[in-house]
Amino acid sequence: MLSFLVACCGTQITKTEIAAATVTASPAEALDPKAALHENINQVLGTDSRKLPRLTKISYSVPEAGDITITWALNDNVSQNSRIANAQIDATNILKVLENNKTRFIYVILIGTFSMQDEYGTTAEIQAINLGFNKSKLDKIHWEDFQPAGIYDLADVAKIADEWK
């Protein structure tokens, strides 16, 4: 139900709701931190309107606790404005999960992909949004009051396809 609200209604998930969605397991069956992060991001992203897995990939730098790159499929909606708003909510919710899980990193890159057609009629999943954030800046954000529409401005690096601005 929570995933449906995020995907369809553009509802921003609070830190409390993310904590409630966090997998709780006994110490003997606790998920490793990477698996827990993967599962928690999947939960906040919900299902894809394009029948693709929402969370495509999480990559960690070597050594760990450096950079993390998270790639997800952007949802398609009726209007361009709805697609943009949902992409901004997705990015915000992913960052909230990183904070809630106490994931160790210095820099995070969020890559949102979308299926686009080129001038020759070839359709491919491309990077529509590429946002980079320093953890030191993210640590200053009060996520309960943060508005997802400001996520592009919060990014230290933002490469956004015209259709997603």
**Segment 83-102 mean pLDDT:** 95
* pLDDT reading at 157 higher than 80: yes
> Per-residue pLDDT tens for 99-126?
998 888 999 999 999 998 888 989 899 9
Contact between 33 and 90 under an 8 Å Cβ cutoff? The reply is no
Domains in the chain: how many in total?
Answer: 1
Q: The domain containing residue 108 runs over which residues?
A: 2-164
Contact between 54 and 72 under an 8 Å Cβ cutoff? The reply is yes
pTM for the full predicted model: 0.80
* pLDDT reading at 22 higher than 90: no
* pLDDT reading at 141 higher than 70: yes
- The CB density around residue 98, as the number of other CB atoms within 10 Å, is 22
Predicted pLDDT at 47: 87
Instruction: Please give the residue that has the higher pLDDT: either 9 or 42.
Output: 42
Q: Which two tokens stand for residue 67?
A: 């950079």
Predicted pLDDT at 12: 56
Alpha-carbon span 69 to 76, nearest angstrom:
22
**Segment 8-27 mean pLDDT:** 49
